[in-house]
Chain A
Amino acid sequence: MTTTLPAPPRSAPAPGLGLARSLLRLHRSALWCWLLLVVALAAAMLWAYGPGYETAAADVQEQCRTDIEACHFPGGPWLSRYSATVALTTLVVSFLPLLVAAWAGAALVGRELENGTAHLAWTQSVSPARWLAAKLAVPALFVTVGAALLVPLHRLMWNGGGDLLWTDWFDAYGFRSNGPVALAYALCGLAVGVLAGLLTGRTLPALGVAVTVMFAITQLGDQYRPSMWPTVTVTGARSLSLPDQALQLDRGVITDDGLRIGNNMACSDADGSVADLRSCLAHSDLADVWATFHPRSHFWPLQLTESGIVLAVAALAATAAFVLLHRRTAAAGAAV
């Protein structure tokens, strides 16, 4: 913020500002809870990234020095504390969209429609559409700020502890916590929650519907994630030694007739040497083997595609909310 720019001349007070302030006033406790949650998560992840990781690593190293078995099966109180912190924070960050959806459905919209305070706002100088716009925009701002803080921290923690955690880049919870999809899902949760609140008009049903729908959306995302970006298919010896950290999706054989058979592990135990593979193929009347996978470099394309799709769903839900509200309330005072 710079102070040298002169403030634009303003004849009338900006109405949106009052609406935003009233929204913060109404949901002050939710705002505090959100801040508290973000701070607690950030603190836990920072601990895990720095002192937690170092202590656990040193502890594991120390145990390895005294006991050879501990080198292969690392354990100990510090490692379990560290990995529990990582697992818990990842779980919370990856399920934040459900929390946002639950709050938006129940507290932000459902309760207000149930007890009539929404109608109170609509009969002040605020139109229902502007009311809804504020309900979406102000929380979206706070969700974005929170995600913008939590996601980089989570990436730091996740990538920093790779050697202790045995994490994969495609792990569902980790994937949903490590990039823009975290924000996309959270905003989608907000829109879905608001729509559920408007549809049901009551607190508890809105909570149930919002959480259920948002859970379904995240599960669909997990399930169809591999299809969101073109995969890589390799044949021959390269299919037996996929690049490091590849997400292998399918593997199969090509018969001498040129027929492609999926989900077939024949010759996959040939240990990568071309000669070994050739003898195995000849022995089994097969022409070649193949494997389909996502290399690690597909992390960002997958993140961005999924974010786009989820944001489109969010936009759809938000549009539906506006249309629904417009149809319910009297914009014209006349039957249409």
Chain B
Amino acid sequence: MNRDGEGTALEAVGLGKRYRRRRGHVLRDCSFRLPAGRICALVGPNGTGKSTLLALAAGLTRPTEGTVRVLGTTPARARERFAYVAQAKPLPPQLTVAATLRLGAELNRARWDRTTAERIAYGPEYGRAYGPEYGDTAGRTAPDLDLDLDPGPDLVREGALRPGDRIRSLSGGQRTRVALALAFGKRPELMLLDEPMADLDPLARRELLGALLGEAAEHGTTIVMSSHVIAELEGVCDHLFLMGGGRIRLGGDPERLLAAHTLLTGPARDLSGHTVVESHGTGRQLTALIRTDHPPTDGWETAAPSLEELLLAHLRNPEAPDLFTEEPEKADEGDEAGPTGGTGDPGTTAATGVTGETGETGEENVRP
């Protein structure tokens, strides 16, 4: 999977960022480690620092505190090896799609993959429909092209891009396609995609996910996608980061994150002794999401939570302790960032302090 033997695609230690004009930190004490080769979903509500984190990783801004390392080195040194697509999908409005791709070729001369870029921009059928001049040059002969010159609706789907289209005339989703084509054309080892799905229709979303999964499978590319829509990434990602309060609150394999939690239902009663992520009651009935490998058996009805339930429960309770299913490895370096426990052992964090507090919250919810 990882080509460098480095094994870490993205790593932050005590990362913090505050903007001059705004008070307070957007990111604070953010520590995590993303192994190479993962497809990672970066989820969280609006304004929790997802875009800031990705911009820091892309080397576009400088952290106020801490460090971020990309592909085992600094963002500046890794520049050629990662791709970044900003949330606004900025592209020079005056260029045509073809000129934009040429721009990508000129700015990434060492590693540009034109075929891949054009396949993403114009769709997989494009080369067939319009001939080798624009894209797929492999294995098409002139007679085939003659036959295909007038593509039917099944060949080029509605809204597909043409090379001569100006960027300023494109819709948001079409711009996203071009921005992603630039990212794919770079043949990166790591893709940092900020809300890549937001403007895409369901069909285009499916195509994009297919392309991303294909890229990851074929080349071992690490992919980090941010989103505030949790559902759209479920089942696709094999790593998950939940952001909140300017840090990563949950990190790891979604399966293992889910396995670490249990949804309890039963008559209202004391839950102290457990790490309660969230509990809410309806009358005498109590539903609680607790963090444990060994669910209590005494009279509780237990169930495995869905990913959405798990994330929403954490979002609704900012007090819930952080959890990483894989420890951020070299986190010891960030000792000075330690006190708030972002990098600390989740087990000990869970066992102290926070537990009672969340238990109280649970009881309060029960009474009315």
Which residues of chain A have a CB within 8 Å of any CB of chain B? Answer: 12-13, 15, 18-19, 21-22, 25-26, 28-29, 115-117, 119-127, 327-336
Contacts of B103 in A (CB 8 A): 22, 25-26
Between A and B, 23 residue pairs with Cβ closer than 8 Å are: A15-B110, A18-B107, A115-B88, A117-B91, A120-B86, A120-B179, A120-B182, A122-B79, A123-B83, A125-B80, A125-B108, A125-B186, A126-B107, A127-B79, A327-B62, A329-B60, A329-B76, A330-B76, A331-B62, A332-B67, A332-B74, A333-B69, A336-B62
Contacts of A330 in B (CB 8 A): 56, 59-63, 68, 74-76
Q: How far is the CA of A122 from the CA of B60 in the complex (A)?
A: 7
Min C-beta distance of A14 to chain B, whole Å: 8
Partner of A124, one of B60, B63, B65, B186: B186
The reply to whether B107 and A329 contact each other, CB–CB distance below 8 Å, is: no
Q: Check A125/B107 contact, CB under 8 A, given A26-B92, A120-B90.
A: yes
Q: How far is the CA of A332 from the CA of B92 in the complex (A)?
A: 28
Residue of B nearest to A331 (CB): B76
Interface size on B, residues (CB 8 A): 46
- The interface centre, meaning the residue of A18, A26, A121, A333 with most chain B CB atoms within 10 A of its CB, is A333
Q: How far is the CA of A220 from the CA of B64 in the complex (A)?
A: 40
**Is B269 at the interface (CB under 8 A from chain A)?**
no
Contacts of A329 in B (CB 8 A): 59-62, 76
Contacts of B56 in A (CB 8 A): 330, 333
Residue of A nearest to B55 (CB): A119
The reply to whether A123 and B62 contact each other, CB–CB distance below 8 Å, is: no
Contacts of A332 in B (CB 8 A): 67, 74, 76
Residue of B nearest to A115 (CB): B90
The reply to whether B66 and A334 contact each other, CB–CB distance below 8 Å, is: yes
Contacts of A333 in B (CB 8 A): 56, 59, 63, 67-70, 74-76
**Is B206 at the interface (CB under 8 A from chain A)?**
no
Residue of B nearest to A124 (CB): B107
Contacts of B75 in A (CB 8 A): 330, 333
Q: How far is the CA of A115 from the CA of B111 in the complex (A)?
A: 26
The reply to whether B109 and A15 contact each other, CB–CB distance below 8 Å, is: yes
Q: How far is the CA of A18 from the CA of B88 in the complex (A)?
A: 25
The reply to whether B79 and A119 contact each other, CB–CB distance below 8 Å, is: no
Min C-beta distance of B62 to chain A, whole Å: 4
Q: How far is the CA of A115 from the CA of B94 in the complex (A)?
A: 12
Contacts of A334 in B (CB 8 A): 63, 66-68, 74
Residue of B nearest to A334 (CB): B67
The reply to whether A26 and B104 contact each other, CB–CB distance below 8 Å, is: no
The reply to whether A335 and B106 contact each other, CB–CB distance below 8 Å, is: no
Q: How far is the CA of A121 from the CA of B68 in the complex (A)?
A: 21
Partner of B61, one of A19, A121, A124, A328: A328
Q: How far is the CA of A327 from the CA of B91 in the complex (A)?
A: 24
The reply to whether A119 and B90 contact each other, CB–CB distance below 8 Å, is: yes
A-B complex: 4 closest residue pairs judged by Cβ atoms: A116-B90, A18-B106, A124-B107, A333-B74
Min C-beta distance of A176 to chain B, whole Å: 33
Q: How far is the CA of A124 from the CA of B107 in the complex (A)?
A: 6
Residue of B nearest to A15 (CB): B109
Contacts of A126 in B (CB 8 A): 79, 107
Min C-beta distance of A113 to chain B, whole Å: 10
**Is B163 at the interface (CB under 8 A from chain A)?**
no
Fill in one digit per residue for B83-125: 1 if any A CB lies within 8 Å of its CB, else 0.
1101010111111000100111111111100000000000000
**Is B268 at the interface (CB under 8 A from chain A)?**
no
Q: Check A125/B102 contact, CB under 8 A, given A13-B109, A115-B90.
A: no
